[in-house]
A = this chain, B = another copy of it.
């Protein structure tokens, strides 16, 4: 029994954004709320100038495999024409520790599972009827989030806000082609929030960019940009004025997510896994404002790696070494 080595191209060929991969990520949230996950804090190796190597992993009781992901973020790479982020995932047999598979995914599985997590949030929390979606940011996750969202909600129009005009233009062209609907630049964030029933924020902001006074009835916001101490996309007033605030892992979100700015006010905060598993009865109130704070989990990495391994074996892909 060797180790199967799988490249990004092989992964892209057999594991696109689809209902199966969505279900895999949806399930990973339930694992957490069911207490089946052994998931240590992220191992963070500081390089310099903000570059870092972050390792996450999770064992899930009852699964045949567990995964550890090593992810790199080198933010001066774009200056020399390279992508900032890359990653590998090691998939181990949960009974023997054998390294059954290594995914050389260059960040693909990470982007995929992060985008799908946003769609899972919208599936369970967003209004059923949506005409307009707004996305903040024009990077990789602005693409993965919206393409994934299209699996769970039909929408007629996508508004996008970004600071770089060229990036906004190419995003609009690309996503119009992909989604087959109008994708339009928005001049202000206030306008974007006003017109949308679903807003997804995908920025590395460290100051609030979405304000409470823009909220309106029948609105869901997923904030997936903040994942480290000091990051913030939503004004903290929003956490207090929303009808429902949901997160992926409470203990992680209060450290690195939007919940780090949680004041004394506000109501109960639910973990989305409890809603998915049915442990918490949840039915979206009519006209409500709902918020979901996503920071990303090692359980998602294990979930996407397990799904990828199944697909790769079925398609007889990979190189055994």
Query: Is the CB–CB distance between B95 and A104 below 8 Å?
Result: no
Instruction: Determine the distance from Cα of A38 to Cα of B39 in the docked complex, in whole angstroms.
Output: 23
Residues from chain B with Cβ under 8 Å of A82 in the complex: 96, 98
Q: Which of A67-122 contact B (CB under 8 A)?
A: 68, 70, 72-74, 77, 80, 82, 85-86, 88, 90, 92, 94-99, 102, 104
**A77 contacts B97, CB within 8 Å?**
yes
- Alpha-carbon gap, A66 to B39, bound state (A): 24
Cα distance A5–B6 when bound, in Å? 11
Contact with B along A17-39 (1 / 0, CB 8 A): 00000000000000000000011
Contact, CB under 8 Å: A43 / B72: no
Other than the known A45-B58, A73-B97, A82-B98, what 20 A-B pairs have Cβ atoms closer than 8 Å? A5-B319, A38-B47, A40-B45, A41-B43, A45-B59, A45-B66, A51-B97, A53-B59, A53-B97, A55-B68, A70-B70, A72-B99, A77-B97, A80-B96, A82-B96, A85-B97, A86-B97, A104-B321, A319-B319, A319-B321
Q: Is A194 an interface residue (CB 8 A)?
A: no
Query: Quick check: is A46 within 8 A (CB to CB) of the other chain?
Result: yes
Q: State whether A97 and B68 are in contact (beta carbons under 8 Å apart), knowing that A43-B57, A321-B104 are contacts in the complex.
A: no
> A169 near B: Cβ within 8 Å?
no
The answer to the question of A44 belonging to the interface, with a C-beta cut-off of 8 Å to chain B, is yes
Interface size on A, as a range, is: 35 or more
CB-defined contacts of A95 to chain B, threshold 8 Å: 74
Give CA–CA (A97, B74) in the complex, Å: 6
Copies in the complex: 2
The residue of chain B having its C-beta at the shortest distance from the C-beta of A72 within the complex is: B97
A7 within 8 A of B: yes
User: Quick check: is A241 within 8 A (CB to CB) of the other chain?
Assistant: no
Q: List 8 A-B pairs, minimum CB-CB distance, nearest first.
A: A72-B97, A43-B43, A74-B97, A38-B46, A68-B70, A45-B59, A3-B104, A40-B43
Q: CA A59 – CA B136 in complex, angstroms?
A: 34
Distance between A303 CB and nearest chain B CB, rounded to angstroms: 15
In chain B, what residue has the closest Cβ to A38?
B46
Q: How far is the CA of A85 from the CA of B102 in the complex (A)?
A: 17
| Neighbouring B residues of A3 by C-beta, 8 Å | 88, 104
